[in-house]
Structure 1
Amino acid sequence: MPTIVLITGANRGLGKGMLERFLSLPNHTIIAANRNPDHSTSKELSSVPKADGSKLIFIKLGATVWQDAFDAVKTIEAQSVDHLDIEKDLEIYLRPDVYGYVSLYQATRDLLKKSRREPVLANMGSTAGSLAAWLNSMALGSGWVHTELVDVGADAFHVDAETQAKLMIGLEEYCNGMFKVLGGTTKEKHGGKLVLYSGKATPW
């Protein structure tokens, strides 16, 4: 039985980095979600190397459109996906993090509960820890990671190169760390906590 992973924001930055790492594992089905599966950045994901038995599914999911999450689940189920093992939400703005997260959680809750392992719900910087009563739910603290969006922000606020080098971490370092965290997570270890890419966890 394959491990099934849903990644939002999968066509760029942190989401793409995690998608590449999960596809490198055998027998994994990765569901790549973003607002426009027909965009060139989404289509490029088809060329990402896949381990034996692993495959990639694309779905449309606009985090600011409430109904999208429920429509996305119907699309997933239509492709014979009957459960989710890991749901990794990588949207970064307030509105997607709040409304998008709630709708996505409501839409996918039943699929997560059908997981044959301990289901994992990992949301980027939200109050996901409050959901820890029935599954391993955590919030992932990204820190200051070099992504296209963050680098533009650093330049806009005139953060000099020396400060960036001192305080920011690379995308590869972050994704490798989070990949390791998600590969060894348990409810006892991380449930209801803010988890850093280093594996360090603190309560909310």
Structure 2
Amino acid sequence: MPPKTTSTPPKTTNTPSKTTNMPPSATNTPPSASTTSPKTTFLVTGGNRGIGKGFVEHYLSKPNYTVIAGVRNPNDATSKALFGLPKGPGSSIIVVKIDSASETDAASAIKKLQSAHGITALNVVVASAGISKVFPPVSEAKIPDVLEHFSVNVLGIIHLFQAVLPLLNNAKAPKFITMSTSAASLGDMEKRNFPNTPYGTSKAALNYITRKIHFENPKLTAFPLDPGWVQTDMGNDGAKALGFEKAEIPLGVSIDGMTKVIAAATREKTSGKFMFYNGTVEAW
């Protein structure tokens, strides 16, 4: 039976409406992950292969990440395949051309990220691209080989850093990480005393550049990170050239360790140190 109608107006009370004053957290529909936390913008070079791709897969699967993969050729099948990787809620991927042998690619990529994609800040940049082609002792090293490794593994990182620095400075607690190797260690050289002059010397120089970045940029958390001897194409090729069946560490183990190091890294505790993928500190 419907309620009787009367001319008496309904009573008003001072009790606030439960629906209008209910806080958002009390609603039945929880907010999505993409609306509860800001996005993290992560850029990695060498993003379509090996360690770089491992980083892309890891961060893209997390919620609220914009993952930027720098690759030598965006039209290559390995680069196009990145768009099909699993994505966490609110996460997306951008692929840009960054050839570490180029003097202009990194700067051009940053301009494109700003103009075409609206990227205004970078939270984390990992310089993962690099080469390791020949393994001679010093007495047999060819200068063109040494120069090629320096061009990619050292100068390429300088070009990258100069290009990304303004966007890193726009982030709240930015991090700049370079991929190093125990082969670059002077203090522990006897532990990895293999004939790899072009690669080892270029990575030792990279360590210097990265530590210098730490001292020159007090806002940054900057450090070289040794992924270990990882079972990638480059790692396994190097292992075979030196007489081993394959490299030592599965890619997933290395990525899991490195991402934990990056997540925990701070200016006070990590920056300016030579870090290993398991969180320990290596000798320069």
TM-score normalised by the shorter chain: which range applies? Answer: over 0.9
Partner of 1:148 in structure 2? 233
Q: What is the letter of the counterpart of residue 7 of structure 1? A: V
Partner of 1:81 in structure 2? 119
Equivalent residues of 2:100, 2:130 under 8 A apart: no
Q: From 253, 257, 274, give the equivalent of 1:173.
A: 253
Q: From 198, 214, 219, give the equivalent of 1:132.
A: 214
TM-score, normalised with respect to structure 2:
0.67
1:9 aligns with 2:46: yes
Aligned partners of 1:104 and 1:203: how far apart in 2? 25
Partner of 1:107 in structure 2? 163
Partner of 1:20 in structure 2? 57
Partner of 2:174 in structure 1? 119
Residue deviations 1:80-114 (CA, integer Å, cap 9, x gap) = 00010000011223321211111111111100000
Residue deviations 1:146-168 (CA, integer Å, cap 9, x gap) = 11122122223322x4xx5xx71
- CA-atom RMSD in angstroms: 1.4
Aligned partners of 1:31 and 1:202: how far apart in 2? 29
1:91 aligns with 2:129: yes
Equivalent residues of 1:11, 1:32 under 8 A apart: yes
Larger fraction in strand: 1
Q: 1:98 is paired with a residue of what secondary structure? A: helix
Q: Percent identity?
A: 34
Aligned partners of 1:112 and 1:183: how far apart in 2? 16
Gaps of 5+ in 1: none
Q: How do 1:34-49 and structure 2 match up within 5 A? A: 34-49=71-86
1:198 aligns with 2:278: yes
Aligned partners of 1:140 and 1:150: how far apart in 2? 16
TM-score, normalised with respect to structure 1:
0.92
Aligned partners of 2:233 and 2:214: how far apart in 1? 32
Q: What is the letter of the counterpart of residue 180 of structure 1? A: K
Q: 1:169 is paired with a residue of what secondary structure? A: coil
Equivalent residues of 2:40, 2:64 under 8 A apart: yes
Q: From 53, 64, 80, give the equivalent of 2:101.
A: 64
Q: 1:178 is paired with a residue of what secondary structure? A: helix
Equivalent residues of 1:63, 1:96 under 8 A apart: yes
Which structure has the larger Rg?
Answer: 2
Q: 1:66 is paired with a residue of what secondary structure? A: coil
1:158 aligns with 2:158: no
Residue deviations 1:12-45 (CA, integer Å, cap 9, x gap) = 1000111111112111100010110110001111
The aligned length equals 198
